[in-house]
Amino acid sequence: MSTSTKTIGSSDLIARLAKDSSVHFSSISPLEYRYKEKRLLPFLSEEAFIWYKAMVETGIVRAFADRGIVPQNSAREIERSAALVNAKEVYEEEDKTNHDIVALVNKIKERMSEDSKSSVHKAATSFDTIDTANTLRYRDAFYEVILPDSAKYLRAMIRVAKDNYDTLQIGRSHLQYGEPITFGFSQALFVDRFGGRMLKMKEAADSLVGKFSGAMGAYNAQSLFVPDPITFEKEVLRQVGAVPADISSQIVQPEFVGDLVHFCIGAHGVLANWADDMRNLMRPEIAEIWLPRGKDVSLSSTMAHKRNPVGFENIKSLWKENMPKMITMYLDQISEGARDLTNSASQRFTPEIFDIFDYAVTRAIRVAENLKAEPENMLRNLSMSKNVITAEPLQLLIASQGSPTAHGDINKLSDRALKENRSVVSLALEDPELSRYMSQLRKDQIDTLSNPEKYIGEAKKVALAIAEKWEKRLAELAF
């Protein structure tokens, strides 16, 4: 998919906007001065949007020319002209015409010969151009930047999972100590969840559709010029590397972009969960992970021991901004008749969602690449509960030997263990009643009971299996 989806000729724009060093402090949106991912400008900026719309207009004329309905010469002219159009002049024209696509078409025509002008925007409605352009630029943004960035984060996390596949850590539930796991296992969960969302984002980007079906979606105007407008729509879209849906109205069905946003927000949600977990592990009382000072761990001007986890905080905070935007997507599912335009302004904000997400991913990559476990602290915390941590397996094993009172007995022993700072297992071995059951346990069972660090189930194995699974997937995807 990735090659065929590439839109024709965007390299100039990519080069130009990639060099763009403007940061706009007279801006209101923090995207412009603080959270802008410049590599996305060739797809998500207004300049880029106009470029993509011009490319769609080019594709339309080309398809007509290939059918012999307009001269090939017109196709060559629009190709040259469309490449020169810029946002500033289009907006100045819109100020006169009060119509964005009429303005674009006028500026394209301006640099064309009188004879060729009538070929431009032939039989098209504004949203044939706009929705197709959005499909192209969103897909390009995902294939060129967002999915590769997501893959990079996944790789960094796979590294963390593998490096720490056997680093002992106390698992937590309810923010309380649970049972031992490994740090790599806990990170593998994020690998799998984020990887899953990444694949869904890719599928949703692949499913985006364009249209050339006219103002009502019924090919009214198109049918004046070609006898087979449904086939012709495919030819137009093939020119720009897109496909149509089976039916559209004045606009493409809103569910396709909606799904892309849903999976994107879901991926951001996984990052937010990870960021929350990690900054809690950086509490001074816990201190199980370490990050270098810098952009993601800010200094305190005065307190030397303070390690403010600003990288993680930022990822979470951007999720708070991004997540509610799904509501707008749901609202835009509703548009009366062939469409009522109340999705117009709201839809212009969709690129913000992708930019904010990618900014968060980029930050997550840097943090994940720098993140180190603090195995000694993990052991210290684990050992805080070592005397009772095996109460669970102890009870399970004694019960399995037939003790009807295992639960109550072990609970009492646990209380004693905490008070006397002794291991609950050694107390059980001394207990006249319980020792009877203890003696029936297998050697490896006794071994687990005596060494909580062995009570980690399949944590190591799962950590490695998940790492391997996603290494393989990433290799297949070739991001």
Nearest distance from C-beta of residue 277 to its own copies, angstroms: 6
Of 118 and 435, nearer to its own copies (C-beta) is 118
User: Per residue in 161-189, is it b (16+ CB within 10 Å) or e — as a string?
Assistant: bbbbbbbbbbbbeeeebebbbbbbbbbbb
Q: CB–CB of 59/242 below 8 Å?
A: no
Residues 6+ apart with CB under 8 A from 181: 169, 170, 171, 456, 457, 459
Rank residues 37 and 79 by Cβ distance to its own copies and give the closer one: 37
Dihedral in degrees, nearest 10, Cα atoms 458, 462, 463, 465: 140
Sign of CA dihedral 241, 246, 249, 253: negative
9 or 294: CB nearest its own copies: 294
Give me the least distance between CB of 57 and its own copies, in Å please.
15
Total number of residues shown for the chain: 479
CA 236/CA 243 separation, integer angstroms: 9
Closer residue to its own copies, CB minimum distance, 404 or 432: 404
If the CB atoms of residues 2 and 253 are measured against its own copies, the closer one turns out to be: 253
Closest by alpha carbon to 119, among 178, 64, 40? 64
C-beta of 180 vs 210, nearer to its own copies: 180
Nearer to its own copies, 70 or 156 (CB): 70
Residue 351: CB minimum distance to its own copies, A? 5
Q: Taking the complex as a whole, how short is the minimal distance between the CB of residue 3 and its own copies, in angstroms?
A: 26
102/477 with CB nearer its own copies:
102
Smallest distance, Å, CB 61 to its own copies?
A: 13
CB nearer to its own copies: give 120 or 368.
120
Q: Are 62 and 55 in contact (CB under 8 A)?
A: no
- Give the CA distances from residue 161 to residues 167, 168, 185, 192, 300, in Å, rounded to whole numbers and listed in that order: 10, 12, 7, 11, 30
Taking the complex as a whole, the smallest distance from the CB of residue 435 to its own copies amounts, in Å, to 19
* DSSP letter, residue 298: B
23: buried, middle or exposed (CB in 10 Å: 19+, 13-18, 0-12)? exposed
Rounded-to-integer distance, Cα 318 and Cα 272, Å: 9
**Nearest one of 201, 210, 79 to 141, comparing CA atoms:** 201
DSSP state, 404?
T
Supply the minimum distance, in Å, between the C-beta of residue 217 and its own copies. 7
For the bound state, the minimum distance from the C-beta of residue 64 to its own copies, rounded and expressed in Å, comes to: 10
**Phi and psi at residue 268, to the nearest 5°:** -65, -35
Taking the complex as a whole, the smallest distance from the CB of residue 442 to its own copies amounts, in Å, to 10
Give the nearer residue to its own copies in terms of CB position, either 284 or 432.
284
Cα distance between residue 147 and residue 158, in whole Å: 16
74 vs 64: CA distance, rounded Å:
10
CA dist 117 and 441 (Å) reads 89
Least separation in angstroms between CB 152 and its own copies: 21
Is 155 buried (19+), middle (13-18) or exposed (0-12) by CB count in 10 A?
A: middle
Contact (CB, 8 A) for 168 and 379: yes
CB 329 → its own copies: shortest distance, Å?
9
Strands (E), 119-175: 168-173
Nearer to its own copies, 58 or 448 (CB): 448
